[in-house]
């Protein structure tokens, strides 16, 4: 079985598969977000759904100009976010009830139904909007379930990179939507936009079927008293190859078991567990703090202004006289996709806090512009500035907030808190997508100063409130937040009790704590001393 190590922790081929295949959920998110920007400019789309027509013949046809009113454009774009908001609230609890895999499959079916409703409309723009609303239900639910599933499955040393793959898939989905749109825009028929929507089925089919080739979350299995299945899932994910690998599995199994048993002592009815997210619980310290932290981080991700470019980028660049706004969108999409690869390194080697507050500072400086009509060369400068802005976002805030959402909350309330955090993201997503046409119509490019202020605030917020969770198991993260007197800016130096550094959690403690009994291949025993077989890495 293929197996290698990251910071002393075994990572098997199954772990890589989990990161890549479940990330397709992010591809659905990105594709659905990106395709509408270019569809709003397609001739056939505007002929069918626009409500502002100029230079028409006596029958109201063959107009010289078609436009969507701000209200209609805002609803077509923004109703996706309303659906995702509702989907995010219910998505994680459904994943808690049915299991992560069943939930993701059902959510893919919901997205597919939304695509089908959109692709079968002819002239009724309301049907198109409702289709985006329904697709949004599935997209929002996936956006809560996928990062949670990833975080629960992979080892701490690979967790940041794995969840960053979700953002990578989002950017790939956006980029593919731009590329497909430039390929169909010349079609003088409804195929120009129907093909774009129809290609979305490839994402939903891949994830909906492919997820069944991956194991269920060990933490969900353990929480539902399926202990043997939980151990088997851990063995598949970790990639058992040596006695040391078996020791790692046993360490993870015991740690998860202990944590869940502790949480069960403070278990509460379903409705009460929702209230606990806001008022706290004796069993989990800073529970309400972490709820509001997750909600604020996801809100600030939207308030960076990045999705403003993804939703309305083509329209913006066309309005300032840039010859081919489709090409400009592809340039932004490529920058967005490529720079997420940098995040795989940055967020693992520099932690979560520093990249986020430095990224926020950079974005607050680069994300402003002046009216292109009043300044020569400002259109070109806008493209350069947009690329630099998107590069920073893709390397920091884009993936960083999904990582924070996946690793901040305790097991018992993780689904509900992840739902609340993700719902905050989609709330601001809708507000920005719906109101941006109205705001830019009144204040123009001064809109950039609003996002600059939000990015500056985001940096300050991260410094004072976000705890450093890199290189910690999910159980250790819970312990860190429960440490009395620990501040966010001091959390980078926090080390789990009994360890000399964060990276020791599965390098030395495993070897000292567990030994493999060769007389019984399925049994581990605790030992006070070292064991060469368990301690030596292959």
Q: What is the pLDDT of residues 469-480, one digit of tens each?
A: 988 888 889 889
Q: What is the pLDDT of residues 225-274, one digit of tens each?
A: 999 999 999 888 877 766 666 777 888 888 888 888 877 776 666 667 78
Q: What is the pLDDT confidence band of residue 52, given thresholds at 50, 70 and 90?
A: confident
What's the pLDDT at 463? 95
Over residues 67-94, mean pLDDT:
87
Over residues 184-212, mean pLDDT:
94
In this predicted structure, the answer to whether residue 324 has a pLDDT above a threshold of 70 is: no
Over residues 79-96, mean pLDDT:
87
In this predicted structure, the answer to whether residue 445 has a pLDDT above a threshold of 80 is: no
Among 179-188, 430-439, 449-458, the least confident range: 430-439
Q: In this structure, are strands 9-12 and 3-6 parallel, antiparallel, or unpaired?
A: antiparallel
- Find residue 281's DSSP bridge partners: 284
Which two tokens mark 344?
């795989």
Q: What is the pLDDT confidence band of residue 411, given thresholds at 50, 70 and 90?
A: confident
Q: How many Cβ atoms sit within 10 Å of the Cβ of residue 485?
A: 5
Strands (E), 185-286: none
What's the pLDDT at 269? 63
Distance CA 100, CA 73 (A): 35
What's the pLDDT at 379? 63
Question: What fold does the segment set 27-214+272-475 form as a domain?
Answer: Growth Hormone; Chain: A; (1.20.1250)
Distance CA 422, CA 291 (A): 11
Q: What is the pLDDT confidence band of residue 457, given thresholds at 50, 70 and 90?
A: very high
What's the pLDDT at 298? 94
Distance CA 88, CA 142 (A): 8
> How far from 506 is each of 158, 247, 260, CA to CA, in Å?
13, 9, 19
Distance CA 395, CA 397 (A): 7
What's the pLDDT at 513? 44
Over residues 30-58, mean pLDDT:
87
**All structural domains of the chain with their residue ranges:** 27-214+272-475
Distance CA 311, CA 226 (A): 44
Among 265-269, 308-312, 393-397, 506-510, the least confident range: 506-510
The percentage of residues in the chain with a pLDDT greater than 70, rounded to a whole number, is 82
pTM of the model: 0.78
Considering Cα of 370, then 373, then 378, then 380, what sign does the dihedral take? positive
What's the pLDDT at 435? 83
Q: What is the pLDDT of residues 112-167, one digit of tens each?
A: 999 999 999 998 999 999 999 999 999 999 988 898 899 888 877 788 888 888 88
What's the pLDDT at 73? 86
In this predicted structure, the answer to whether residue 507 has a pLDDT above a threshold of 50 is: no
As a whole number of Å, the CA-based R_g of the chain is: 24
Question: What rounded mean pLDDT belongs to the chain?
Answer: 82
Contact 469, 438 (CB under 8 A): no
Considering Cα of 111, then 115, then 121, then 127, what sign does the dihedral take? positive
Q: What is the pLDDT confidence band of residue 519, given thresholds at 50, 70 and 90?
A: very low
- Between 517 and 485, the more confident residue is 485
Distance CA 159, CA 171 (A): 19
What residue has token string 């919901």?
Answer: 110
Over residues 86-105, mean pLDDT:
89
Which two tokens mark 274?
């929702």
- Between 116 and 313, the more confident residue is 116
What's the pLDDT at 527? 37
Contact 137, 460 (CB under 8 A): no
**Residues recorded for the chain:** 538
What's the pLDDT at 535? 36
What's the pLDDT at 381? 73
Q: What is the pLDDT of residues 493-505, one digit of tens each?
A: 898 887 777 755 4
Distance CA 224, CA 220 (A): 6
In this predicted structure, the answer to whether residue 328 has a pLDDT above a threshold of 70 is: yes
Instruction: Name 442's Cβ contacts closer than 8 Å, sequence gap at least 6.
Output: none
**Which one, of 16, 51, 456, lies nearest residue 214 by Cα?**
16
Over residues 315-335, mean pLDDT:
70
**Which one, of 131, 123, 133, 120, lies nearest residue 49 by Cα?**
123
Distance CA 471, CA 454 (A): 29
Contact 75, 89 (CB under 8 A): no
Contact 25, 143 (CB under 8 A): yes
Tell me, what DSSP letter sits at residue 284?
B
What residue has token string 């043997």?
Answer: 228
Q: What is the pLDDT confidence band of residue 3, given thresholds at 50, 70 and 90?
A: low
The 3-class secondary structure across 397-433, one letter per residue, is HHHHHHHHHHHCCCHHHHHHHHHHHHHHHHHHHHHHH
Q: What is the pLDDT confidence band of residue 524, given thresholds at 50, 70 and 90?
A: very low
The percentage of residues in the chain with a pLDDT greater than 90, rounded to a whole number, is 35
In this predicted structure, the answer to whether residue 510 has a pLDDT above a threshold of 90 is: no
Distance CA 1, CA 309 (A): 44
Contact 52, 68 (CB under 8 A): yes
In this predicted structure, the answer to whether residue 369 has a pLDDT above a threshold of 90 is: no
Q: Which DSSP helix (H) or strand (E) runs through 65?
A: strand 65-67
User: Among the ranges 70-79, 261-270, 289-298, 313-322, which has the highest mean pLDDT value?
Assistant: 289-298
């Amino acid at each position: 079985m293929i197996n290698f190590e990251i910071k002393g922790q075994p990572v098997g081929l199954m772990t890589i598969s989990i990161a890549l295949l479940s990330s397709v959920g992010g591809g659905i998110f990105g594709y659905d977000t990106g395709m509408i920007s270019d569809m709003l400019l397609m001739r056939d789309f505007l002929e069918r759904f626009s409500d502002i027509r100029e230079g028409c013949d006596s029958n109201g046809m063959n107009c010289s100009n078609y436009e969507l009113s701000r209200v209609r454009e805002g609803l077509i774009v923004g109703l996706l976010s309303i659906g995702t908001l509702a989907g995010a609230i219910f998505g994680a609890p459904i994943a808690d009830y049915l299991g992560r895999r069943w939930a993701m499959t059902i959510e893919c079916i919901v997205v597919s139904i939304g695509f089908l409703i959109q692709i079968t409309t002819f002239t009724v723009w309301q049907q198109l909007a409702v289709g985006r609303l329904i697709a949004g239900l599935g997209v929002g639910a996936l956006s809560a379930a996928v990062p949670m599933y990833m975080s629960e499955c992979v080892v701490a040393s690979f967790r940041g990179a794995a969840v960053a793959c979700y953002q990578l898939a989002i950017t790939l989905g956006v980029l593919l939507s731009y590329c497909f749109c430039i390929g169909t825009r010349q079609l003088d028929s409804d195929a120009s936009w129907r093909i774009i929507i129809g290609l979305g089925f490839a994402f939903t089919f891949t994830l909906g079927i492919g997820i069944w080739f991956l194991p269920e979350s060990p933490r969900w299995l353990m929480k539902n008293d399926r202990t043997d299945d939980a151990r088997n899932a851990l063995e598949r994910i970790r990639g058992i190859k040596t006695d040391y690998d078996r020791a790692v599995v046993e360490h993870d199994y015991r740690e998860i078991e202990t944590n869940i048993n502790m949480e069960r002592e403070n278990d509460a009815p379903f409705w009460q567990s929702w209230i606990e997210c806001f008022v706290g619980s004796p069993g989990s310290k800073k529970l309400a703090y972490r709820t509001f932290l997750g909600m604020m981080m996801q809100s600030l991700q939207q308030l960076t202004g990045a999705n403003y470019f993804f939703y309305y980028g083509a329209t913006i660049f066309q309005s300032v006289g840039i010859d081919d706004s489709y090409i400009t969108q592809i340039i932004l999409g490529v920058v967005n996709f490529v720079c997420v690869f940098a995040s795989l390194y940055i967020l693992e080697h520099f932690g979560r806090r520093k990249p986020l507050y430095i990224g926020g500072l950079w974005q607050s400086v680069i994300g402003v512009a002046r009216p292109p009509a009043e300044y020569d060369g400002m259109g070109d400068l806008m493209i350069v500035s947009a690329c630099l802005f998107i590069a920073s976002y893709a390397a920091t805030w884009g993936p960083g907030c999904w990582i924070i959402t996946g690793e901040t909350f305790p097991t018992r309330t993780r689904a509900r808190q992840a739902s609340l955090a993700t719902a905050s993201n989609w709330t601001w997503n809708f507000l920005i997508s719906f109101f941006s046409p109205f705001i830019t119509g009144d204040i123009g490019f001064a809109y950039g100063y609003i996002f600059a202020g939000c990015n500056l605030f985001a940096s300050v917020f991260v410094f004072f409130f976000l705890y450093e969770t890199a290189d910690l198991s999910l159980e250790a993260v819970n312990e860190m937040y429960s440490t009395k007197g620990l501040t966010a800016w001091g959390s980078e130096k926090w080390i789990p009790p009994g360890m000399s550094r964060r990276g020791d959690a599965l390098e030395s403690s495993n070897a000292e704590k567990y030994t493999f009994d060769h007389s019984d291949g399925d049994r581990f025993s605790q030992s006070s001393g070292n064991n060469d077989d368990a301690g030596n890495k292959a």
